[in-house]
Amino acid sequence: MIVAAQPEAAEAGARVLKRGGNAVDAAITAAFVQTVVDPQMCGIAGFGNAQIFMPGAGVHECIDFHGTTPAAATPDMWLGELQGETRDGFGFIVEGEINDVGYQSITTPGSLLAFWEAIRDFGSFEWADVVEPAIGFAEDGFAVRPHVAYWWNHGAALGRAHVERRLALTQTGRDIYLRADGTLKRLGDRITNPDLGRTLRRIAEGGADVFYRGEIADEIDADMQANGGLLCRADLEWYATVRGAPLHGTYRDTDVFTNRPPGGGVMLVEMLNILECFDLAALGHNTTEYIRTVCEAMKVATSDKDRFVGDPRFVDVPLDRLTSKAYAAEVAGRIATGERAHVERLDGPKEPKDTTHVGVVDAAGNCVTMTHSLGMPSGVISEGLGFMYNGCMGVFDPRPGRAGSIAPGKSRFSSLCPTIVMRDGTPRLVIGAPGGTQIAMGVLQATLNVFDFDMSMDRAVSVPRFSSTSDVIDISNRIPDYTVEPLRADGYEIIRAASSFGFAAIHGIRVDDGLLSGGADPGHDGVALLV
């Protein structure tokens, strides 16, 4: 089975499975297609994390490919221009939006190198065959899907550059994404990107080296130097993924495997540890007390993330404490007595959600769960290359001396947490999500839905969600107001989202005695395909 947020990507991966490819072949093929058909959610110049489980080969590994700060960056370079922080704590507002859009917003990308390493080390297909379907979509075109059109028109949040500005920042962007009259292309319009097709053909032939050390690296370097970018060829040559064992936690009678910092897996494990202390089934799904309890766990994990979690090569992350059962029991005790956590924030707006996900389970029991992204896309497309670069500098804290502060070679924190939950050594849930800072919150709720409420996978990803990444409780508009009225009366600020779905877009595969069932969040365009 494969589940992905784009039908084109899911089908491309399913075709690989039909041809005898393994889960890694299918996942990376789908990911390449995602970089073409969802080109602001992800790209070859993006970042992410992949968890690979291959029991027959004795493999259980995470490939972390977060973007790293270019060597030219300095800790205080935007301190004087700092204006605020996003309400959900996943980005900073700098005067002129230079950390958010344009050449200075770009970190050293990791996605392409991770794709290459995954196929080289764990795949069974030839590299060129994995890249080929994406080339087809770039050259032959694809239709603007509902979620792409929605994000183009509604993806900007207060204080952030509008998506249209990103799409129209370069001449290439205007040629690809705008109509002849200068307006954004609309639902059903065709998009072709021949420049990206040519770039992918070079990558198919030359592998990742052509991008990081070859002629594409030269072209990237020339464009960055001509336009005041921080990124340079030396940053590309220096870049390396971080590989190792997943972060391990437990929840009731299951083992939870997720990613390590600077990813969001530590938040997921911390929240599950806290909530294990409560009889959630007895509280009832999405009841008043359930929402309060889960939100307080979210607030504690968010505060801990803000204070302690960053790139472990630069920050001493107290991982043992944050994931300990004793600490969780202490927090749960405070929640049980009605104590409220406080999440400190600078004034500021809320971050949009722009990432994507793919999950695969093959016939041999191999599993891949991978989330990859551009952050908020920079809008920059180097002439002739066709792909948009990430805009990950916007999440770094312009204030020196903090866990998320800027430093050369440092990776930003991200909430992405591709996760595999096992029982007795056998995968039971393969899950992940796009959704900015809400990813860990969405994955948490879907995991609880499966293991505490025994929901089917499609129901687990589609029932209404809520979140609290500040002192505010945000709720889906499908949660009735009478449920949260007691919380409002008790002094909680409740903000109702205008959309029916949200707080990440969960995609998962549930495994029950070898039977696979999939769920693709109905708020996006994705599908689950059983092969």
Active-site residue list: 355
Q: Report the distance separating Cα 378 and Cα 227, nearest Å.
A: 13
Q: What residues contact 123, with CB distance under 8 A and at least 6 apart?
A: 21, 22, 24, 25, 28, 130
Tell me how many degrees the CA angle 99-102-106 measures, rounded to the nearest 5: 65
SS3 percent helix, strand, coil of the chain, rounded to 5, is 40, 20, 40
Strand partners, 94: 82
Beta carbons of 27 and 368 less than 8 angstroms apart: yes
Number of Cβ within 10 Å of residue 288's Cβ equals 16
Q: Report the distance separating Cα 515 and Cα 110, nearest Å.
A: 34
Give me the amino acid identity at 511: V
Distance of CA 101 to the CA centre of its chain: 19
| Class of residue 139 by CB neighbours under 10 A (exposed 0-12, middle 13-18, buried 19+) | middle
Beta carbons of 58 and 122 less than 8 angstroms apart: no
Q: Report the distance separating Cα 6 and Cα 134, nearest Å.
A: 13
Please provide the DSSP assignment of 491-531 as one string. Answer: T-EEEE-SSSS-SS--EEEEEETTEEEEEE-TTSS-EEE--
Buried b / exposed e along 368-387 (16+ C-beta atoms within 10 A)? bbbbbbbbbbbbbbbeebbb
Beta carbons of 351 and 86 less than 8 angstroms apart: yes
Find the DSSP H helices in 19-126: 23-37, 111-122
Buried b / exposed e along 221-232 (16+ C-beta atoms within 10 A)? bebbeeeebbbb
- Checking DSSP bridges between strand 527-529 and strand 2-4, what pairing results, if any? antiparallel
Beta carbons of 45 and 109 less than 8 angstroms apart: yes
Q: Which helix (H) or strand (E) holds 233?
A: helix 233-238
